[in-house]
Amino acid sequence: MPEGDTVYRTARHLDQVLAGRVIERWELRVPAHATSDLTGRTVDQVVSRGKHLLLRAGDLTLHTHLAMEGDWHIYARGARWKKPAHTARAIIETAEHSVVGFELAVVELLPRSDEHTVVGHLGPDLLGPDWSAAEATTRLRAQPERSIASALLDQRTLAGLGNEYVNELCFIRGIRPESCVADTDASALIALAHRLITANRDRVERTTTGDTRRGRQSWVYGRAGRPCLRCGTLIQNRMLGEPGRERTTFWCPRCQR
């Protein structure tokens, strides 16, 4: 599941092969930008902002978002792609590499000076250089009646958490996902979120339990009907969230009371 750690790693890998290189092929397979051409420009950098990716080249920025299914692949120039060509939404080639964005939910080209229009609404970035636990805690506490799961998933509160992290955070802190923000220790949750996502930012296989073995990487997420790794009680699940934004939540009835 692409969450902030996945996007952070993706940005770092893209930056390693694109920054300072001249673009020899540029193709955006979306109607709004199908005629754009950055061939001949040099890529300045690729950075992440929460779950957003920003590729900067001169005065322009390519903004992409992975959502649920998207990902970027890096290939040696001329190598065969591992996904069907018709799912490619962005293709960027340098002398040495082909970088392909498959099934991207958002692909847009905008002036670099307008980046704030697509990421300016985000809260503090858990993996960003300007991370502020104090600001994130303030934003979280400003929503006292909201469920903790919904508040943590809201990228305006803090940027980078997805459903997996939110469910795991609630388990580790011993609270239900539907608990009101006012009934939780906001600062402790924020501190834990930062520790967890930072610990995973360099891992290909995410773990919140400290165990990287298959089936033991998470406490409750995706484990409905299976025994809790801590107490053996069967994990439960249900939908939670505002209409149109419902997400599946998981919890242990015994460990999260």
Q: Are 99 and 93 in contact (CB under 8 A)?
A: yes
Write the DSSP assignment of the chain as a string of letters: ---HHHHHHHHHHHHHHHTTPBPSEEEE-SGGGTT---TTPBP-EEEEETTEEEEEETTEEEEEE-TTT-EEEEEETTPPPSS-GGGEEEEEE-SSEEEEEES-SEEEEEEGGGTHHHHTT---BTTSTT--HHHHHHHHHT-TTSBHHHHHH-TTTSBS--HHHHHHHHHHHT--TTSBGGGS-HHHHHHHHHHHHHHHTT-SS--SSS--STT-S-SSTT-TTSB-TTT-PBPEEEEESSTT--EEEEE-TTT--
Q: Are 228 and 234 in contact (CB under 8 A)?
A: yes
Per the residue annotation, which of 49, 51, 176, 206 is the catalytic one? 51
* Residue 2 a catalytic site member: yes
Per the residue annotation, which of 3, 93, 164, 168 is the catalytic one? 3
Report d(CA 10, CA 245) in Å as an integer.
26
Per the residue annotation, which of 29, 41, 141, 247 is the catalytic one? 247
* Residue 69 a catalytic site member: no
* Residue 51 a catalytic site member: yes
Report d(CA 123, CA 49) in Å as an integer.
10
Per the residue annotation, which of 2, 41, 103, 135 is the catalytic one? 2
Active-site amino acid positions: 2-3, 51, 247
